[in-house]
Amino acid sequence: MSLPYFLSPDPASGVLDGAEGRHAVTVKRIAPGETIALTNGAGTVATVVVGEVRGKDYLSGAVVGVDTIPPAHPRVTLVQAIPKSERAELAVDLAVQGGADEIIPWISARTIARWPANKQAKQVEKWQATAREAAKQSRRAWVPQVAEPVTTNQLRALISGRQALALHEEATVPIRQVSFAEDVVVLVGPEGGIAPEELDALGAQPVKLGPEVLRTASAGFAALCAIGALTVRW
């Protein structure tokens, strides 16, 4: 069984406190003698044998190993059209499990869910919190960053010059036929699909995953898994 994962700004210190310490001590009930993993979410993972548990939110131990995990190759950015609230958490959770290196919320033409300007920061933090928890659950050394939401015009500038693949049910090119670049951007539209004029404006290559039409919350995960299997990521 894999080790319990916790986020720490300094994994090599063998110390865990604050919110993560509380989760380890109070929720997970980590005790002296147990072995855990501490990661900074940026590639460093320390294996720690817990020696002391103090109060409700502090533990420390002996560091018995420190590993540096390189970023995945190729790098995959998932552009996710903002789903309705009940599916947004699922979409982010699955994207992290699938290996997304960055997640960009997209306000597409057919996006129903809208984030008022005064609530965007809060929504981004909710997505980032979901990403952190999903990264720990899937034992990832790298926690994907959630960017600020973008409009279609902003997205066009963002992906200019990069390999951009748009998941589209009417595409004729299956994803298995794609030759992947070093930096890949995967676009997932809303439930209503990517509008034709948006697809033209963005200049992304339409690709299909298979004969089935996937929901917006799961399409990104399926694409990430396909890219993992078709490249050296897996």
The CATH code of domain 5-68 reads: 2.40.240.20
CA angle at residue 58 from 53 to 61, to 5 degrees? 55
Closest CA to 69 of 111, 104, 105, 41: 41
- Whether a cis peptide bond, with omega within 30° of 0, leads into 74 is yes
75-230 belongs to which homologous superfamily? Answer: SPOUT methyltransferase, trefoil knot domain (3.40.1280.10)
Q: Which pLDDT value is given to residue 111?
A: 82
Over residues 191-211, the pLDDT tens digits come to 888 999 999 999 999 999 988
Over residues 6-32, the pLDDT tens digits come to 999 999 999 999 999 999 999 999 999
Tell me the one-letter amino acid at 200: D
Please report, rounded to a whole number, the percentage of residues in the chain having pLDDT higher than 90: 86
- For the chain, where do the domains classified as CATH 2.40.240.20 start and end? 5-68
b vs e for 142-173, b when ≥16 Cβ sit within 10 Å of the residue's Cβ?
A: bbbbbbebbebeebbebbeeebbbbbbeebee
Closest CA to 163 of 97, 96, 76: 76
- For the chain, where do the domains classified as CATH 3.40.1280.10 start and end? 75-230
pLDDT band at 117 (very low <50, low <70, confident <90, very high): confident
Over residues 185-196, the pLDDT tens digits come to 999 999 888 999
